[in-house]
Chains A and B, each alone.
Chain A
């Protein structure tokens, strides 16, 4: 390799039009970054306005805004964001169609919670949760990753359902709690006891939570810290030659094979990493509530997919932005519907359902008019692979 660079005479760079092309490409890139920045800024400003309204005024609208802001920083929003980051490794970068991300979450949650109830230390319990999801990924990947992508989709969606049904089995009630699930009080304590936030309640703007508590500042702090760590992790992974392999596999596996790359091993690595992130999300998801098989079923998988497409697949920050928007915009729609439409036409329950309908319509519009999501790169989606 070394003598290549030393002996190489400068190749012919004086190709006409080279300069022009470069500035054009640089401009295009700058424009894209600007657009992403504007989108992010718009979201941030929107939240800031809501914050000001919620804290300075009183009435229905400010209280709706307050609940929107609260749902945006909810620990479960962070938990789903982590799972979306995992799915982004699968789908966004590697092109693996995993339609069972909630299954990975559920498995992680079960592994963690059951280990804690058996008096396993916290750290090991988390590792058991991650290991369970990794083993699940290996199991699903071994037979399917050599086949065409569709098969992984079929297998993951059904395997996730199998996990859910097994978890609900009444015969397993002593272990998984059956359909009742495991209440949070059985496994939450080691995590809550780690808190150095102390007792009492802190109020910041519209947010007023216990410092530690079951669902307070401590879990929010840890959950969003983990989201940040996961983003950094993914950044380092996908900017490396390994990340380039992932995108190469997304584009054409056979071409990668013809270049001597071990496609199967790389796909397996991606599946395991994304699945483990899903499990981590699952653990965070159940910490403030309880492990219930039915709360992590197909619906959650589809939320995860929606959040990914909304934020922009194959981007670093898209999954996080997408998840926050997905959960907060729905609360906003529900609140406004409830406030504007008289209860004779839509009662509270119906306006909740209506909000899902609107979310669905928004998703359709998004896929038609901005298929790359908010932060995504349209040119990465433009060409038919």
Chain B
């Protein structure tokens, strides 16, 4: 794994790069749902999303601490992906204030202190909160490299008025390309750079999507099941990448069913069930919480999952991995 990792321009020396500092931080936070964090990057209040009569998401209060890796776990149908969609602007909460009416307990959510209530998905991404999708959205009939280049921010060549003047954007393009190559090398996709994204396997598309999201230099990256369909050896190196992202100052929030991964890399775990946040805390604390075991893990989760000795055993079957035909 190349350790020369592209540092994004907004990368800061993260005080939480030090495990002891993270330990001290999480020790200072009570393990209860909706607890306040010392330095939250994302704060959400009263997010409710109803589909007809069914309430998919009903989160009273949640804070995501800056600079650490937060995992969002929960059973299928718990509303994790819907929650992602809501805070990234791909969906609107039922409780969101409209132009004409501001309901009592209106949904509010803010990212780095600025309100996101009426921000479009593209503006949320531009603000620095970038997501990936559970069902991968690779741009199939474009090459891997073109996919990556679309991630680069603020390209003057994307302006209609100047795009036909090649000299105005040629330099930016070269820089973005160099960066894209580095990221592709990191995700073992470099030799595929001129292939169409549609010819990649499911797992490779997943990697491509993550690499493309990193092209935008996000302050916070939200990964929706990043490991589903990725082979065990690559999972290991991806875990390393995610940790090094954190160490460079990017906040990570991810949804995952693989308890190995959750336990291994997350500094904080949020558990959702039936749309609500039912528990929060460090992985080992949350996983021994009877409510979590009851709602999600099941009584026998410790017998085959989360065992430290199994972490080396990379060929162990991953219960949530999707089999990819390619």
Seen from chain A, the residues whose Cβ lies within 8 Å of a Cβ on chain B are 1-5, 7-9, 11-13, 15, 17-18, 21-22, 25, 233, 236-237, 240-245, 247-248, 250-252, 254-263, 269, 379-385
Contacts and interface: CB of A to CB of B under 8 A. Distances in A.
B169 A241 contact: yes
A383 B201 CA distance: 12
A311 B171 CA distance: 34
Contacts of A233: 164
Contacts of B241: none
Contacts of A380: 141, 196
A163 B182 CA distance: 53
B175 interface: yes
A260 B160 contact: no
B163 A8 contact: no
A7 B5 CA distance: 10
A323 to B, nearest CB: 24
Contact of A4 (B9, B146, B163, B166): B9
B216 A260 contact: yes
Nearest to B161: A242
B2 to A, nearest CB: 6
Q: Nearest 7 pairs between A and B by C-beta? A: A383-B198, A241-B157, A11-B185, A260-B125, A251-B139, A240-B163, A242-B163
Given A9-B4, A261-B122, A247 B142 contact: yes
B191 A254 contact: no
B212 interface: yes
A2 B178 CA distance: 11
B149 A241 contact: yes
Contacts of B146: 244, 247-248
Contacts of A257: 89-90, 120-122, 125
Contacts of A7: 7
A247 B139 contact: yes
Contacts of A251: 139-142
B225 to A, nearest CB: 15
Nearest to B158: A241
Given A4-B9, A244-B150, A258 B137 contact: yes
Nearest to A270: B160
A85 to B, nearest CB: 15
Contact of A262 (B122, B178, B188): B122
Contact of A2 (B2, B163, B175): B175
B158 A8 contact: no
18 contacts: A4-B9, A12-B190, A15-B190, A15-B191, A240-B163, A244-B158, A247-B141, A252-B137, A254-B137, A257-B90, A257-B120, A259-B130, A260-B126, A260-B130, A260-B153, A379-B141, A380-B141, A381-B141
